[in-house]
């Protein structure tokens, strides 16, 4: 947004601690160091924690006011008492209420004409997830908001494994309305945060002993560090700022704690991974209704086209298109493994164990354009023997091109052996089917018979960055081969035909 009407784009950013930062665009195009937005009395604007601002002219006086969503304090408006080019922010924020006087809640607050009546409505995210809509019952220069109507249902918390992935938007949702596909109807972009978990093999006796020996030193260093942080925090917001000697003591305490914390973290068996997804809700008008119809369905999750269980395992088969004509599809075979059991990714020579191996049974009319690749991490066998195990799940992907209709079905086979610490079940081969290839009526489009909806109504997709200063729209994406946060090698061909984001993010509390 152009904060000061000088013709270039600046950035407004909220923060966890509640301050709002302005990153102003410099004369040569670079962004200047962020600074707090201050109110008319010279005090930083604050309305709560985890704030998200939106600049919009709320009272039609020609300048930009601020609408601020918060984690749990509600939604506020800060009136601009200055001008479009030189904002001056009111000393006190105004809480947004409905026409009935009820407090409006929202982790972010976004204005858009959701129902097509020419008035800007209020659409809000939520700390607990979901999206709600407050219809504007008044005017654009004097809005009056109706009671909240649900656009995206709040989902109850569910602890999920890293191998399972998400099933819909998580918590702390941030929403933006836009006509994503140019069909004249408002769609929704919903950002979130989610925590997924994985469980590593149990500690060995030697590892447990090392952890026990390290615990006292770690706990002492941790307590000393947080004691220094309490001292540091006591100076925040006071004249003169935080004394240098206090900052130095914090840094020294952190330097002592970090290596001990890293060692202790390595002993933890349950690991959490923070994710942030952007979910796209494409809006459809129900039969007999016009473009003003609301979204009436929750997110649609891809279901397996075939599945089979064997002992402590379950094999599921998924298929999704990589191109709009559905002729190129990605096949994903996922074997879920119950806790305490494992399968083999690699095995020692002459061991007699059977490593996992997927294969295809293709009729004439279907060809492989990318052979099977493993998308799951293997763990070293805890006994110290050579070879690697799959724990929790094993996933393989390949890509096929549909060339013509087929009478025979497209088959997928997975050979594996599953064991626990006492016994191994006999090697097993599971066979699943994607169905035969059919042609859509009155169309040249081909699809797999068992995949009723190759493109579900609502799809989770990565959203591409716009206005990049490095790559311009329309440029070909560069080839890449990188390791993700799970240690799995990803290449540009894995995402052929899709929109995606490469996100490089430093680990929290580390330099760089």
Please calculate the CA angle 362-366-367 and round it to the nearest 5 degrees. Answer: 90
The pLDDT of residue 415: 95
Q: Output the tens digit of pLDDT for each of the chain's 512 residues.
A: 889 898 889 999 999 888 999 999 988 888 898 899 999 999 999 888 889 999 999 988 999 999 999 988 899 999 999 999 999 999 999 999 999 999 999 999 999 999 888 899 999 999 888 899 999 999 988 999 999 998 988 877 778 888 888 888 888 999 999 988 877 788 999 999 999 998 889 999 999 999 999 999 999 999 999 999 888 888 877 788 889 999 999 999 999 999 999 899 889 888 888 898 899 998 775 544 443 333 333 333 356 788 999 989 999 998 877 644 567 888 889 999 988 899 999 988 777 889 999 999 999 999 998 899 888 888 888 765 668 899 888 999 998 999 999 999 999 999 999 988 778 888 999 999 999 998 877 667 788 888 754 433 333 333 443 333 455 566 777 777 787 766 667 788 777 777 777 777 655 545 44
pTM for this structure? 0.52
The pLDDT of residue 461: 38
Q: In this structure, what token pair is assigned to residue 441?
A: 């009526």
Report the alpha-carbon distance of residue 202 to residue 267 in Å, rounded.
9
Give the residue carrying structure tokens 């096929």: 400
Radius of gyration of the chain (CA): 27
Neighbouring CB atoms inside 10 A of 149's CB total 13
On whether the CB atoms of residues 344 and 354 are closer than 8 A, the answer is yes
Please calculate the CA angle 13-19-25 and round it to the nearest 5 degrees. Answer: 40
On whether the CB atoms of residues 4 and 87 are closer than 8 A, the answer is yes
The pLDDT of residue 186: 87
Enumerate residues 6+ apart whose C-beta is below 8 A from 407: 363, 436
pLDDT tens column, 218-236:
999 999 999 998 888 888 7
Question: What is the Cα 13 distance to its own chain's centre?
Answer: 19
On whether the CB atoms of residues 501 and 461 are closer than 8 A, the answer is no
The pLDDT of residue 162: 85
Q: Identify the CA nearest to 299 among candidates 122, 173, 432.
A: 173
The pLDDT of residue 383: 61
On whether the CB atoms of residues 131 and 122 are closer than 8 A, the answer is no
The pLDDT of residue 442: 65
């Amino acid at each position: 947004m152009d904060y000061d009407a000088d013709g270039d784009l600046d950035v407004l950013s909220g923060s966890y601690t509640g301050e709002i930062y302005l990153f102003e665009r410099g004369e040569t195009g670079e962004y200047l160091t962020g600074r707090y937005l201050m109110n008319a009395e010279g005090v930083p604007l604050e309305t709560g924690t985890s704030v998200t601002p939106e600049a919009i002219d709320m009272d039609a006086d020609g300048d930009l006011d601020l609408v601020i969503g918060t984690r749990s304090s509600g939604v506020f408006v800060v009136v601009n008492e200055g001008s479009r080019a030189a904002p001056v922010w009111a000393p006190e924020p105004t809480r947004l209420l409905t026409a009935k006087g009820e407090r409006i809640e929202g982790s972010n607050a976004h204005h858009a004409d959701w129902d097509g009546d020419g008035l800007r409505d209020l659409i809000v995210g939520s700390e607990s997830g979901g999206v709600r809509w407050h219809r504007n019952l008044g005017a654009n220069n004097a809005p009056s908001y109706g009671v909240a109507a649900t656009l995206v249902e709040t989902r109850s918390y569910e602890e999920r494994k890293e191998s399972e992935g998400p099933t819909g938007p998580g918590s702390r949702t941030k929403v933006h309305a836009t006509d994503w596909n140019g069909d004249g109807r408002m769609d929704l972009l919903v950002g979130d945060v989610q925590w997924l978990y994985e469980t590593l093999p149990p500690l060995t006796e030697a590892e447990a002993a090392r952890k026990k020996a390290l615990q006292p030193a770690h706990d002492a260093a941790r307590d000393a560090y947080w004691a220094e942080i309490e001292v540091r925090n006591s100076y925040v917001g006071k004249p003169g700022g935080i004394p240098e000697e206090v900052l130095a003591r914090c840094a020294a305490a952190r330097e002592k704690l970090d290596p001990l914390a890293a060692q202790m973290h390595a002993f933890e068996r349950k690991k959490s991974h923070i994710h942030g997804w952007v979910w796209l809700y494409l809006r459809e008008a129900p039969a007999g209704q016009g473009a003003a119809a609301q979204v009436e369905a929750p997110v649609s999750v891809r279901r397996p086209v075939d599945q089979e269980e064997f002992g402590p395992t379950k094999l599921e088969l998924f298929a999704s298109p990589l191109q709009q004509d559905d002729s190129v599809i990605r096949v994903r075979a996922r074997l879920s493994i119950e806790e305490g059991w494992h399968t083999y990714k690699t095995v020692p020579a002459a061991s007699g164990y059977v490593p996992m191996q997927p294969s295809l049974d293709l009729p004439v009319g279907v060809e492989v354009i990318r052979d099977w690749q493993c998308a799951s991490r293997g763990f070293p066998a805890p006994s110290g023997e050579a070879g690697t195990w799959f724990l929790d799940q094993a996933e393989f992907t390949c890509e096929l091109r549909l060339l013509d209709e087929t009478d025979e079905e497209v088959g997928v086979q997975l050979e594996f052996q599953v064991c626990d610490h006492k016994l191994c079940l006999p090697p097993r081969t599971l066979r699943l089917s994607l169905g035969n290839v059919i042609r859509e009526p009155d169309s040249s489009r081909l699809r797999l018979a068992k995949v009723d909806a190759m493109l579900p109504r609502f799809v989770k997709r990565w959203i591409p960055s716009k206005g990049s200063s490095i790559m311009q729209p329309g440029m070909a994406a560069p080839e890449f081969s990188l390791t993700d946060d799970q240690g799995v090698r990803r290449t540009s061909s894995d995402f052929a035909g899709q929109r995606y984001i490469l996100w490089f993010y430093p680990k929290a509390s580390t330099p760089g």
